[in-house]
Amino acid sequence: MSALYMILGTLIALGVLVTIHEFGHFWVARRCGVKVLRFSVGFGKPLLRWHDKHGTEFAVAAIPLGGYVKMLDEREGNVPEELLGQAFNRKSVQKRIAIVAAGPLANFLLAAVFFWLLAMLGSQQVRPVIGNVQTGSLAEQAGLSAGEEIVSIDGEPVFSWGDVNLHLVSRLGESGALQVEGRTSASAASITHTITLDGWLKDSDSPDPIGSLGIRPWRPALPPILAELDPNGPAARAGLEAGDHIVAIDGIATPEWQYVVDHVRARPDKTVSLQIERDGSERFITVTLARRGDGDGAGYLGAGVKGAEWPADMLREVSYGPVAAVGEGLQRTWAMSVLTLESLKKMLLGELSVKNLSGPITIAKVAGASAQSGIGEFLNFLAYLSISLGVLNLLPVPVLDGGHLVFYLVEWVRGRPLSERIQAWGMQIGISLIVGVMLLALVNDLGRL
């Protein structure tokens, strides 16, 4: 079923985002008086095609990895004299800029609409209360302690662990002071803790901002009773079964599941001894742990337990009315756009590992997981992906929309376009950059497998 979700989620995501992006170009081109010859979603042989009253061909092609809007243009072939006024290259530079910019702007608008819908639907969020602080960690050195609720990061209010993580992600690769304001339930006054960062997680290819500070979020205690097993995991191979109660691991009592998790994570590829209770009797089972393949190299048991009921006072219901949700949608779109740009800048400057780049395989996996989690998670994924598409297309790289915008802005300032030779060089450089980045992202995807 997960494979089906992955395929359908990816097709829907690409279909929606590409269609909206190209529709932005199409809609503005029509209003600028440009004749659109073809609007295609996908590349290759058309599976479906039809024409409208303006003579535009609409097509859905076989390879769903993009799309394009083909406009009448003298640079791409002969144009009948009576249609010269509708050619793209005959329009003013301001109109050409508007047409090219419309695609990425449509992606930002789509993200804002999705965030607006999510804000009205509302969500249940977990209060960012610290459950435990690791000995010797950055959080302990700064004076953070179990039971504190984080109320702001660098002066910005936070209301959930999602907010905390988002603010911390914006500081990845940086050096300097990180201000974390916390408050305990016993005191109305808050305390500001200063954490000193030094190239924080600069070389990490799978950063865990909250965990790397030594903070473990509070969560209800889970009894160490197995509820599910990876059929190909170490636990299943060793003979563990659903319903087994783990009493101890390597002779250490396990009153809750987190004890097992911590012990396993610290011992990749090691052998551990589990004391379990099954059908009223106790027995010992030896398990050779595996190593997780997602970049953190932690130990892997291949077993899970049932979730527990969260106390009502640890949860927050967050929702907005139709008008207030507009502001929330725009704010989230802006924040994620800035974060995406800053992350790209850090990769270029070497402040963040390029292994954080993701390609089509990772996108497909996340699309499937979010689709399987529900409409809210899938809309959230679509919004983030739409922002990424918009930002990437605005980069000043020839071939991308941003590269064309640079050419047209130069033309606007100079009063005449750059020579065809310079533009051709730019296109060759742009193609090389895009191919290189795509290959790097694909290599990263394969490494994560």
**239-255 pLDDT per residue, tens:** 999 999 999 999 999 99
Lowest mean pLDDT among 54-63, 348-357, 409-418: 348-357
Same domain, yes or no: 333 and 449: yes
Indicate the range of 12-21, 160-169, 438-447 predicted with least confidence: 438-447
Q: Are residues 215 and 240 in the same domain?
A: no
Same domain, 362 and 435: yes
144 lies in a domain? yes
Q: Is residue 162 domain-shared with residue 244, that is, in the same domain? A: no
Asked if the model's pLDDT at residue 294 lies above 60, the reply is: no
Residues 257 and 204 in one domain: no
> 3-state SS string over 281-326?
EEEEEEEECEECCCCCCCEECCEEECCCCCCHHHEEEECCCHHHHH
Q: Is residue 370 part of a domain?
A: yes
pLDDT, mean over the chain: 90
At residue 293 the predicted structure's pLDDT band, cuts being 50, 70 and 90, is: low
Share of the chain above pLDDT 70, in %: 98
Cα(295)–Cα(422) distance, integer angstroms: 42
User: Which CATH number does the domain housing residue 291 bear?
Assistant: 2.30.42.10
pLDDT tens-digit map of 119-148: 999 888 999 999 989 999 999 999 999 999
Residues 155 and 195 placed together within one structural domain of the fold: yes
One domain for residues 260 and 377:
no
| 353-409 residue pLDDT tens | 888 788 777 888 888 888 888 888 999 999 999 999 999 999 999 889 999 999 999
The answer on pLDDT for 296 being more than 70 is: no
pLDDT for residue 48 is more than 80? yes
Same domain for 189 and 109, yes or no, is no
If asked whether residues 327 and 410 sit together in one domain, one would say: yes
* Pairing label, strands 226-229, 303-305: antiparallel
Q: Please tell me the total count of domains within the chain.
A: 3
Q: In the prediction, which pLDDT does 430 show?
A: 87
302 and 362 fall within a common domain: no
pLDDT of 444 above 90: no
Residue 51 counted as domain residue:
no
SS3 assignment, position 54: coil
Domain boundary among 274, 308, 342: 308
Q: Bridge-partner residues for 246, per DSSP?
A: 276
Please name the residue that has the structure tokens 């039809």: 50
Burial label, 182 (beta-carbon count in 10 A; 0-12, 13-18, 19+):
buried
Instruction: Please state, in angstroms and rounded to a whole number, the distance separating the CA atoms of residues 124 and 89.
Output: 52
Residue 149 a catalytic site member: no
Summarised one tens digit per residue, pLDDT across range 308-322 is 888 998 998 889 999
Looking at the domain assignment, is residue 34 inside a domain? no
327 and 406 part of one domain = yes
- Per-residue pLDDT band at 1 (split at 50, 70, 90): very low
Give the DSSP H or E segment for 390: helix 375-393
Residue from 22, 181, 328, 342 carrying the catalytic annotation = 22
State the Cα–Cα distance between residues 291 and 301, nearest whole angstrom: 9
Domain presence at residue 105: yes
Question: Quick one: 335 and 367 in the same domain?
Answer: yes
For 69-90, b/e burial (b = at least 16 CB within 10 A) is: bebbeeeeeebeeeeeebbbeb
Is 244 among the domain residues? yes
Q: Which residues contact 243 (CB under 8 A, 6 or more apart)?
A: 225, 226, 278
Q: Which domain holds residue 374?
A: 95-122+323-449
Q: Which of 185, 219, 253 is the last residue of a domain?
A: 219
State which of 219, 235, 251 marks the end of a domain.
Answer: 219
- Torsion from C-alpha of 57, 63, 65, 69, nearest 10 degrees: -10
Has residue 445 been placed in a domain?
yes
CA–CA dist 180, 190 (Å, integer): 10
**Residue 58 covered by a domain:** no
Q: Is the pLDDT of residue 206 over 80?
A: no
